[in-house]
């Protein structure tokens, strides 16, 4: 799935990836807010996964709104299932993307492939 510019894939489930992202972005001086969580939104429903056919859907999608210390704003979308997460970014210039990617790589240096 595409939710912006895909910047990284990590071999860690979304539920472990998101807190690590929040910590890495916080260390950069950013303020991070979770604006959407698919599992929370669908908790009361037993929906069939359109991707895997599972009931209930085991996929996870989290949208993080990030406010950088210099005033720039962007969002990170983390999508995955099981032990895989795709991290995508929207509304960021290439310089900021590289800074974020470096920070995330540092946080996940043993899980990147």
Which domain CATH number covers 77? 3.30.310.70
What does each C-alpha distance from 61 to 19, 26, 29, 41, 104 come to in angstroms?
14, 20, 24, 10, 18
Report if residue 113 sits inside a domain: no
Q: How many helices (H) and strands (E) does the chain have?
A: 3, 5
In a domain, 112, yes or no: no
Domain that includes residue 46, residue range = 5-107
Q: What is the pLDDT of residue 76?
A: 92
pTM of the full predicted structure?
A: 0.80
- Give dist(CA 45, CA 57) in Å, integer: 10
Residue 73 lies in a domain: yes
Strand, helix or coil for residue 23: helix
Tokens 């970014």 found at: 89
Which of 12-26, 27-41, 43-57, 71-85 bottoms out in mean pLDDT, i.e. has the lowest? 43-57
Domains contained in the chain, number: 1
Structure confidence at residue 37 (pLDDT): 72
Report yes or no on 36 lying in a domain: yes
């Amino acid at each position: 799935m595409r939710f912006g510019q895909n910047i990284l894939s990590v071999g860690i489930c979304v539920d472990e990836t998101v807190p690590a992202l929040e910590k890495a972005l916080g260390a950069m001086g950013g303020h991070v807010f979770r604006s959407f969580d698919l599992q929370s939104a669908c908790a009361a429903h037993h929906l069939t996964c359109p991707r895997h056919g599972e009931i209930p859907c085991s996929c996870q999608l989290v949208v993080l709104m990030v406010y950088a210390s210099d005033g720039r704003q962007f969002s990170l979308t983390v999508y995955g299932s099981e032990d895989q997460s795709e991290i995508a970014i929207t509304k960021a210039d290439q310089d900021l993307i590289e800074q974020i990617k470096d920070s995330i790589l540092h946080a996940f240096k043993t899980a990147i492939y």
